[in-house]
Amino acid sequence: MKNQYEQQCNAAALKQLGVPVVKKLRKKTLEKVERWLDEKQSLDIHFPDIAGKAVEKMMGKAEKIIKQG
C-alpha cells in the first residue's frame, strides 16, 4: 500500500526476516515472489502472547481509578 507508513514498517520487518518485499506488482516482481515461495523454506518465528497480560494490567489500573473516585 503506497505511502502507508504502517505497511512500510511491516515490509521493513518482513525484509529483515528474509521475505522478499516489492514496491509494485509487476511481472518481474511476481517472479521474485514465486521463487521465494518455491524455496519451500518456512520461517520459524515465535511471537509471545502478551494480550492477556496487557488486559490484566489495564483492568488493574481501571480498578484503582474506580476505587479512587
Give per-residue pLDDT as tens, 6-41.
Answer: 999 999 999 998 888 888 888 888 888 888 888 877
Could you tell me the sign of the dihedral formed by the alpha carbons of 6, 9, 15, 16, in that order?
A: negative
- On the question of pLDDT at 59 being above 90, the answer is yes
**How far apart are alpha carbons 5 and 13 in whole angstroms?**
12
Q: Please state the domain extents for the chain.
A: 5-68
pLDDT category, 1, cuts 50, 70, 90?
A: low
Average pLDDT score over residue span 61-67: 93
Those residues whose C-beta lies under 8 Å from the C-beta of residue 15, and which sit 6 or more positions away, are: 21
Using the predicted structure, report yes or no on whether residue 61 has a pLDDT greater than 90. Answer: yes
Q: Which three cell numbers stand for residue 40?
A: 519451500
Closest CA to 32 of 22, 42, 41: 22
